[in-house]
């Protein structure tokens, strides 16, 4: 029995985590949940969006499943998601985007996995004011790219490709302009690729990559890039297959992992039984694979696909159904 930290999150978080844990239990997942509170809910209750007990639980159990957390825009506390990634050096943000049965999308046969470096780039938050005068404000932000972190994420992408029968790794950069930072990332990528002669390697400038993704997304397999580019492109990839509500995400380091829904906490529909659990459920399947329960994950995936074929009856309105969180959950359980 594997102990996993469960962070339900804010807004719809409680509803979708209840759905997911119900489905995993029905499928026979051998998991003991260790529930913790973080985000806006914890901030209101304890004055701290990331209480010490959350950190302690993650340090002990090393695996977490996390629902959506609310982060204030512009003011207030920094992102708990970013803090957890940096604290546990979860350098690989892994975002699959696959075409799903019955989900509306202009694209067919999309099956790409984006590896985003998760701890560096512009998202380290090194910002400062050069001038703070109200009439002449000037702010600067610093991006950091290291050889070590680049090698880790690029190697992780190649290893994933090899282990999962993938044929190609595409490295995305802006080395024509950002010659030192993303130039270093590209240089490391070319070096790592030499050790994986069985995997095709290509590199693309980020603006070209964005265009290619919306013209011929089927040409991409495994994609690896820096933090900011990965944040944008992974959301774009989700949009190609139906949106953030139908794609999972993993954050994996050398000795810890966190799996999460990357969509918002949707407080406007919280408590109304309208929330779509698919994103968190697909994240949970990635977690099951990570902890060695691959057959359970496959059983649930088949049940999800069968449920999606009959989405009109069972699925939530955001993906074209007339059902609820409860009807979707029960249908997946019945199909296992």
Cα–Cα distance measured from residue 140 to residue 131, given in angstroms and rounded to the nearest whole number: 10
Q: How far apart are CA 54 and CA 87, in angstroms?
A: 12
- Would you call 51 exposed, middle or buried from its count of C-beta atoms within 10 A (0-12, 13-18, 19+)? middle
What CATH number should be reported for the domain whose range is 1-96+244-336? 3.40.718.10
Per-residue pLDDT tens over the stretch 204-240: 999 999 999 999 999 999 999 999 999 999 999 999 9
Q: Is the pLDDT of residue 75 over 70?
A: no
Hey, what are 90's tokens? 């979860």
pLDDT at 104: 84
Find the Cα–Cα–Cα–Cα dihedral 205, 283, 302, 308, rounded to 10°: -80
Contact 12, 270 (CB under 8 A): yes
Average pLDDT in the 285-294 region?
97
Query: Which one, of 117, 199, 197, 193, lies nearest residue 150 by Cα?
Result: 117
Query: What would the 3-class secondary structure string for 285-309 be?
Result: HHHHHHCCCHHHHHHHHHHHHHHHH
Q: Do the domains at 1-96+244-336 and 106-240 have one common CATH topology? A: yes
Segment 115-166, tens digit of pLDDT: 999 999 988 888 989 988 888 899 999 999 999 999 999 999 999 999 999 9
Handedness of CA 179, 183, 187, 190 (dihedral sign): negative
Is residue 73 pLDDT above 80, yes or no? no
Banded pLDDT at 77 (limits 50, 70, 90)? low
End-to-end CA distance of the chain: 21
Write down the pLDDT at residue 72: 60
Tell me how far CA of residue 67 lies from CA of 28, 37, 164, 178, 314, in angstroms.
21, 10, 27, 35, 22
Question: Is a pLDDT exceeding 70 seen at residue 78?
Answer: no
Instruction: Pick 106-240's CATH classification: 3.40.47.10, 3.40.50.2000, 3.30.499.10, 3.40.718.10.
Output: 3.40.718.10
- Residue 76 scores a pLDDT above 60: no
Reading the block at residue 291, the tokens are 């902890």
Per-domain boundaries in the chain:
1-96+244-336, 106-240
Name residues whose C-beta falls within 8 Å of residue 11's C-beta, 6 or more positions apart in sequence. Answer: 68, 70, 264, 265, 266, 267, 270
pLDDT per residue as tens digits for the range 6-16: 999 999 999 99
The rounded distance, in Å, linking the Cα atoms of 89 and 79 is 15
CA 211 to chain centre: 22
pLDDT at 16: 98
Catalytic residues: 123, 174, 207, 231
Cβ atoms of 277 and 20 within 8 Å: the answer is yes
In the block, tokens 């000037």 appear at: 138
Q: Does residue 295 have a pLDDT over 90?
A: yes
């Amino acid at each position: 029995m594997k102990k996993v930290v469960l962070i339900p999150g804010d807004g719809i978080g409680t509803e979708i985590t209840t759905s997911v844990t119900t489905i995993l239990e029905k499928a026979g997942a051998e998991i003991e949940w260790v529930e913790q509170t973080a985000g806006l809910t914890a901030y209101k209750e304890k004055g701290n969006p990331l209480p010490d007990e959350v950190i302690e639980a993650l340090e002990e159990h090393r695996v977490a499943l996390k629902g959506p957390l609310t982060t204030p825009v512009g003011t207030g506390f920094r992102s708990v998601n970013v803090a957890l990634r940096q604290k546990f050096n979860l350098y690989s943000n892994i975002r699959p985007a696959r075409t799903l049965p019955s989900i509306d999308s202009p694209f067919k046969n999309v099956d790409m996995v984006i590896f985003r470096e998760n701890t560096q780039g512009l998202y380290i938050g090194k910002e400062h004011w050069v001038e703070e005068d109200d009439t002449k404000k000037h702010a600067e932000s610093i991006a950091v790219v290291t050889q070590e972190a680049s090698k880790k994420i690029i190697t992780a992408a190649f290893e994933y490709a090899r282990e999962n029968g993938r044929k190609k790794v595409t490295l995305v950069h802006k080395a024509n302009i950002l010659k030192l930072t993303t130039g270093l990332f590209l240089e490391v990528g070319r070096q790592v690729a030499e050790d994986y002669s069985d995997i095709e390697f290509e590199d693309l400038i980020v603006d070209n990559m964005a265009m290619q993704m919306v013209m011929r997304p089927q040409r991409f397999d495994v994609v690896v890039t820096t933090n900011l580019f990965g944040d944008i492109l992974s959301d774009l990839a989700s949009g190609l297959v139906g949106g953030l509500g139908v794609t999972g995400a993993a954050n994996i380091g050398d000795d810890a992992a966190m799996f999460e829904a990357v969509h918002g906490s949707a407080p406007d529909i919280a408590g109304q039984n309208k929330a779509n659990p698919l994103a968190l459920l697909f994240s949970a399947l990635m977690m099951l694979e990570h902890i060695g329960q691959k057959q359970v994950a496959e059983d649930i995936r088949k049940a999800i696909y069968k449920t999606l074929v009959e989405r009109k009856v069972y699925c939530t309105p955001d993906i074209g159904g007339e059902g609820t969180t409860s009807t979707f959950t029960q249908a997946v359980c019945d199909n296992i």
